[in-house]
Structure 1
Amino acid sequence: MQEQLINDTSEAFRSVFQSEPERIFLAPGRINIIGEHVDYSDGFVLPAAIDKHICFAVKKTDDSETCTFFAKDFNESFSFNVNEKQSPVSQTWVNYLLGVFNAIQESGKEIGGLQIAFSSTIPMGSGLSSSAALECGFAYILNELFNLHLTKKDLALIGQKSEHTFVGVKCGIMDQFSSVFGKEHQVIMLDCNSLEHQYFEANLDGYSLVLFDSCVKHTHLTSGYNDRRKDVEHGKNILWKKFPEVQKFRDFTLEMLDEVKAEMGETSYKRCKYLLKEIKRVEEAAKALSAGNAEYLGKLLVETHAGLSTEFEVSCEELDFMVEETLKQNGVLGARMMGGGFGGCSINLIRNENVAEVIENITAEYKAAFGIEMKVYRVKISDGINEYKRNEFVI
């Protein structure tokens, strides 16, 4: 699949630019094993880069003023002058790239002319962060070709800034960080505030991570997200008023939370209870993965889904059905909704010998219940952004 993507992208470059690309780069999507909605609450997340990529075929040009993109999947081109100040445009995909260029330009670094064709195997709109791969892949390319001396952390922050300023999405840092810092067979336990992180081996021999895409995205994602943040902030304020000596939200205990339940109100109490339990689950999941304890990891995934559905209340009928039915299948150790909620994918931990049967059964059950053809993505944990050279990676 990867070779096919590289060949198709290279062929698109030749067709559009009438020459050979000089270099090939791959930027991955990501999954988050566990740790939803904790990134803005002093918590840890547990993401990993996956083997779905955006491939960039690239060539520096003698024309030092023009940068031209060709998006193969949209069959659209866009050019801009690298010496001019950029502003957002009507084509959304272009803004992810212009935002990256703008952030680098504002730092005073100079960039020359480029031709880039790109194509993707990261399904768009499925919560696998194709946008972060696009942003950070472009930042990585500019860093490599023009010797900008940016660190990996710089590249992740530039990708995030692009999304904030040119796309208008106030995303966290997890997606960009995962795309840049990913390592094959390893997950990243990341503190989204300090960006401190550590790697844990993902020992999943005999098991597969399979994503079931519900193919629904309910409109209250944004409003629901904002409401949850307000609920959480209200709860935090009451906790800190009662326990001012506590430094970070993750250091509050469930006993402390119970003490202020009446003052906090039922809704904020449920939200904060989910978050405090989820933060602990992330740490437990990292250890379980490292120890190869797939059964315990599966149990934690199930607990997370229950918390997201009943305490944080960001699931939906389709996802609850999908998870509930999946957990009844042979060989399924765990399942949960993944991402912000109200639609998107579930992540499922399944014994290898049962994967085909589970996919067949759940696809049929989901179609019968909702009339929707579920999409399925089998994923492996892979390296972060890298350059591809003759069957080997340069990282």
Structure 2
Amino acid sequence: MKSLNAHFRKVYGEGGEIRSFFSPGRVNLIGEHTDYNGGHVFPCSLSIGTYAVARKREDSFVRFYSMNFEDQGVITVDLKEIIYDEKDDWANYPKGVVSIMKESGYEVSGFDVLYFGNIPNGAGLSSSASIELATAVLLNELNDLHLEMVEMVKMSQRAENEFVGVNCGIMDQFAIGMGKEDAAVLLDCNTLEYTYSPVVLENASLVISNTNKRRGLADSKYNERRSECERALSQLQEHLQIESLGDLTVETFEANKQHITNPIDQKRAKHAVYENVRTIEAAKRLKAGEFDAFGQLMHESHVSLRDDYEVTGLELDALVEAAWAEEGVIGSRMTGAGFGGCTISIVENQFLDSFKTNVAKTYKEKTGLTPEFYVVEIGAGAREVNQLSEAL
């Protein structure tokens, strides 16, 4: 934080009170492509994320600067007219939060802010939601708005949906805002009811493996999958009283799947239903300390994402299959939207080194790419930080 504060003064000059904030990245342990289908997800917030240092201004200008995109310099906007501008690139995410907060009737003053993120770009660990929540929290604190975290989560999602134009579910923002140290959160995306499950791995660690393949297809395929699920739901609703695919049990789905006339749509719906059931079961298994059973559910999740939802691709499959072959791997699956990005594995600590060496070798042989590995801890959600030890 000392380094960031010094960099802030270099960019914006001396004077005034500088306040520091941290917003984590997130990883979803299980429950993929269930959020917009009215199902459950099981994410946790991470020890890596977005740092923000900010200082209040006495006028209506907001100045954004990111150490991750230094070539773009300082981006200045006036609170009186905040509009989406493609040339502002990354800054549209925090601009969106400011816009939605103002639109919601909250008085906010101008401010200068410097961001630094240590979430790998394009890895699918939700750097966009992380910067959104960092901005929401700093706005809340700088302006004494006394907002509840759930309100800031909803506004951050609206910023991405309405201002940036990305039709995401609420999982990313919720996991980042409501994250808790050493716990994952089982969230019902339909009702926003949630429970925390302690994640005490003892002799094992969470390892995020980055395919280093940029997720070029993710956005278009994401919208395609949403449409396929919506068509399937619409046909089922002609015969069943349901609001979402997340309302279905496996038994009810199997008894009624013939009403979905397109076989592709039927496969997509099958994944949404089975993955939701798996996710609820997985949270129970983890709570009970049944790690092998949890690992098996991770395995089944990846197979379903590969075969029924078809969002994995060569790189993710190669990385997961290499992990499955390694000693000490409790479970491994793709995480995020798919078509590149990352996998999440639970690996026994004594095998961490051999896991990284062997998986990297096998993966490179199959794809020609070199993966990156991050052994991560589960940290707390977005917050103001006053000491270096709190942020790291």
TM-score in terms of structure 2 length: 0.93
- Match of residue 131, structure 1, among 128, 143, 149: 128
Task: Select which of 352, 365, 371 maps to 2:368.
Answer: 371
Could you tell me which residue of structure 2 aligns to residue 211 of structure 1?
A: 208
SS at match of 2:54: strand
Identical counterparts, % of pairs: 34
> What residue is the counterpart of 1:85 in the other structure?
81
Structure 1 contact 71–117 (Cα < 8 Å) conserved: yes
Partner of 1:110: 107
2:16 aligned with 1:24: no
Question: Where does structure 2 lack aligned partners over 5 or more consecutive residues?
Answer: none
- Helix, strand or coil for the counterpart of 1:198? strand
SS in 1 for 2:45: strand
Residues 268-287 of structure 1: matches in 2 within 5 Å?
268-287=265-284
Find the counterpart in structure 1 of residue 195 from structure 2: 198
**What corresponds to 1:3 in structure 2?**
none
Deviation per CA, 1:122-177, whole angstroms, max 9, x where unpaired? 11110111111111111111111111122111111111111123322111111111
Does structure 2 conserve the Cα–Cα contact (< 8 Å) formed by 1:28 and 1:133? yes
Q: Deviations over 1:239-273 (max 9, x none)?
A: 222233x4653342333333334442432222222
Alignment counterpart, residue 41 of structure 1, candidates 37, 47, 51:
37
Cα distance change on mapping 1:274 and 1:263 into 2, 3 Å:
same
Equivalent residue, structure 2, for 1:255: 251
CA contact (8 A) 2:60 2:110 kept: yes
**Pair 1:94–1:302, CA change in 2 (3 A):** same
Aligned length: 386
Matching residue of 1:73? 68
2:175 maps to what in 1? Answer: 178
What is the rounded CA distance, in whole Å, between the counterparts of 1:269 and 1:15 in structure 2? 57
Is the alpha carbon distance of 1:250 and 1:113 closer, same or farther for their aligned partners in structure 2, counting shifts above 3 Å? closer
Letter in 1 for 2:42: L
Indicate the residue corresponding to 1:358 in structure 2. 355
The aligned residue for residue 313 of structure 2 is 316
Q: Residue 373 of structure 1: CA displacement?
A: 1.5
- How is 1:124-163 mapped onto 2 (pairs within 5 angstroms)? 124-163=121-160
Helix, strand or coil for the counterpart of 1:216? coil
Counterpart mapping for 1:298-337 below 5 A: 298-337=295-334
Aligned-residue RMSD, C-alpha: 1.8
Q: Per the alignment, in what secondary structure is the counterpart of residue 73 of structure 1?
A: helix
Separation of aligned partners in 2, 1:99 and 1:254: 39
3-state DSSP of counterpart to 1:329: coil
1:294 aligns with 2:291: yes
- Alpha-carbon distance change, 109 to 195 in structure 1, aligned in 2, over 3 angstroms: same
Is 2:56 the counterpart of 1:60?
A: yes
Q: Deviations over 1:212-245 (max 9, x none)?
A: 111113543233223322322232223222233x
Aligned residue for 2:146, secondary structure, equals: coil
User: For the residues of structure 2 that align with 1:262 and 1:181, how far apart are their CA atoms?
Assistant: 39
Which residue type is aligned with residue 84 of structure 2?
A: P
Does the residue aligned with 1:91 lie in a helix, a strand or coil? helix
2:4 to 9, 31, 35: 9
Deviations 1:178-198 (A, max 9, x none): 111101001111112221111
Please, what TM-score do these two structures have when normalized by structure 1?
A: 0.93
